[in-house]
A and B are shown apart, each in its own frame.
Chain A
Amino acid sequence: MIHIPNTGLYFCIAFAVMLLATWLMSRQGRHLFTKDPLRRKFTMLEMEFPAKSYELETLINGIYLLPDEAPKTIKALKKQLLLDYLLFIPAVYSCIYILCMHIAVELKTEVGRYWFMGLGWAQIIPFILDYIENTYFWIMINKRNIPVPKPDVTKPEPVSRPFKMMQLLQVFKWGIPLIGAVCSISVVAYFWLSGRY
């Protein structure tokens, strides 16, 4: 178990960086446009959670169908990804790690300690997955005319391997930090309300 000195200070710094990154990224989000079937806005979340196979590919192809806006959109996407790489990812997982480790130290039961310690270290998994995902997006957005198979109504809908992998990745990338954050905040709330903090 790692006892982090000045937990509150480190947590606040990481949290502030996370908020700053979120604000900067949301500003970039104003420039994201695609054509599907008409010109429309899209968000990074749409890229992370495509509803079905080849939706990401269709969305990226749609960006280049707006020749006047495509350079701006690609530039904004790259800026978002860079901010994610450099600020958001390190900050958000550090926040959760600090919280989990702090709770682990405070708890009296062995099970609780190991659970929160495990949750803390487990943040390394989504941390790595997030970098993999961003790298994948970075490669994809530079491609033009990504092949999308033509629909065949007589055959079952094709499911691409990247789509399946992406779904699995999202489960771990979002599941682990969310459980870590929620469990920690719940225990913090318990400590506060019971006056043992």
Chain B
Amino acid sequence: MPAKKVDKALNSKQLTVDDFKNDARVKACADHVRSNPKVVSDVLDDEGNQYVHLVQKGGGVLGVALVGYVYILEQAGIRFLKMAGTSAGAINTSLMVIQDDKTKTKSDYLIDALSKLDMFRLVDGHPFAKRVIKHFVKDPDYTKRVKKIVRTAAIVLITLLVSAFVLMGLQDDFPILSIAACFVFVLMGLYFLGLGVAGVYFSSLMKRLKTAGFGVNPGDFFYDWVKYHMKANGVNTVADLERRARKVPKLKIRTPRTDGIDNLTGDVVFITSELVTQNKFELPRMANLFRSENKMGELQPAGFVRASMSIPVFFESYYIKDIPVHDKKIQELWAVTFDLKTPPDTVRFVDGGILSNFPINLFYNKDINIPRLPTFGIDLDDSTPEDKENVPENWSLVGYLGRMFNTVRYYYDKDFSLQNKVMNLGVGKVPVSEYNWLNFFLTNQQKIDLFAAGAEAAKKFLDGFNWKEYKDGRHTYFIQKTKA
């Protein structure tokens, strides 16, 4: 069958778990890691699975690649104890952590949820905004499309003006042309009507954007989708989520180590940025800043994931309202945590990615000499070779502002990474530069390609990972730090 026909058939059907797992690239990676078992941790369960902590980076729809990566890690017999993520990483983390038994693979559920998800519905804003987004985000470089539209509009206007000018000039000599001139005027009127309607519509959308907390899409579908999965797995409250995250299977330490598995617990962290107090929040750990213990049931854990992925402007902010500001315990917590004497009544969250898109620092414990298990991180690398070769003098205003924003945005995580280089030994990079992170209209083929990219990156990472080197690195680093 010709390739184009295969693509058409694939893109028009509802994807299944097998479509992802049976992809030749994914299968090859899975077979490879299964037939080349590797020691990656000293914490094991009775079935021989090895345990690691996992941190997943945010990146919009590129999160599909995270699923492919996790799938291959699991095929290599790796399971996860503590999990954290931002934005798309938080979504994957949430769907993994809500599953009950940590000894079982989580990726099957993830892939199933992904294959059944109509990503188009995540873009649940105004139909016009939806169409604009669909039109512009298909290619990584959408500015080309904007330029093309502006150029076409300018050419049409010039043509109409020149036609009107010529026809009006000639109509005295050729009276028949007066009809054409009149018609061109009507066309010009319709052209300006189109522009006017677009302008009014745009301004009403801007007004709407303001009243909707500067978010094009309410993000309600996303919230309901996460809530649906949590409910389906018996996670209805914050306490349910924390219980599920902390639950640890029967573990043992690899011989000849004798330090045991004391204090090893599971955990989950979603990173989000809060704009009222201008802080980074780690949820659900900090949920007690918003509600007293007996009223924690009022908070919905799906909201924490929604808060973590509130891509500014693309999604509306996520609010937690009616914080009991007069509650003494809550006042104390705010004072201790953020040095704030008066807690805010309402907090407003946007994507955690603006502060810490790759929170690899979360599970790093400086007091550990030789770790019992590593922290693995999945990094989505969307930089292109041109990015590095780019000449700073040639940047456009947009490029300049983008660089400035990214420098601020990434530096928090980068700073940790630069100061604790040993932690990078557990990080695998998935190359995703050919996809736009906001393209919620991925074709089925693109979804599978992203998944396969994640799988291939995981295989490459596992091939290069050396547990002994990781432990030695941490040990050396510990000694250096202690001496300092």
Binding site for B on A (CB under 8 A): 37-38, 40-43, 45-46, 49, 51-52, 109, 112, 151, 153-154, 157, 178-179, 182-183, 185-187, 189-190, 193-194
Contacts and interface: CB of A to CB of B under 8 A. Distances in A.
B385 interface: no
B208 interface: yes
Contact of B189 (A46, A49, A151, A182): A182
Given A41-B211, A51-B127, A183-B189, A190 B228 contact: no
Contacts of A179: 190, 193
A89 B121 CA distance: 38
Given A183-B186, A187-B182, A51 B221 contact: no
B185 A190 contact: yes
Interface of B: 121, 124-127, 168, 171, 178-179, 181-182, 185-186, 188-190, 192-193, 197, 204, 207-208, 211, 213, 220-221, 224-225, 228, 319, 321, 346
B147 to A, nearest CB: 28
A186 B187 CA distance: 8
A54 to B, nearest CB: 11
A194 B171 contact: yes
21 contacts: A41-B211, A42-B211, A51-B126, A52-B126, A52-B127, A109-B179, A112-B182, A151-B220, A151-B224, A153-B225, A179-B190, A179-B193, A183-B186, A183-B190, A186-B189, A187-B186, A189-B185, A190-B182, A190-B185, A194-B171, A194-B178
Contacts of B211: 40-42
Contacts of B121: 153, 157
Contacts of B125: 51
B189 A185 contact: yes
In this complex, the member of A46, A154, A185, A186 whose beta carbon has the largest number of chain B beta carbons within 10 angstroms is A186
A153 B224 contact: yes
Nearest to A178: B193
A76 to B, nearest CB: 17
A45 B207 CA distance: 11
Contact of B319 (A38, A112, A183, A186): A38
Given A154-B228, A187-B185, A190-B185, A45 B221 contact: no
Contacts of A109: 179
Nearest to A34: B211
Contacts of A153: 121, 221, 224-225, 228
The 8 closest A-B pairs by CB, nearest first: A186-B189, A190-B185, A51-B126, A182-B189, A40-B211, A182-B193, A186-B185, A151-B224
A42 B178 CA distance: 47
B219 to A, nearest CB: 11
A61 to B, nearest CB: 15
A193 B168 contact: yes
B319 A194 contact: no
Contacts of B189: 182-183, 185-186, 189
B186 A194 contact: no
Contact of A190 (B124, B181, B190, B204): B181
A185 B191 CA distance: 13
A45 B145 CA distance: 30
B127 A186 contact: no
In this complex, the member of A51, A109, A185 whose beta carbon has the largest number of chain B beta carbons within 10 angstroms is A51
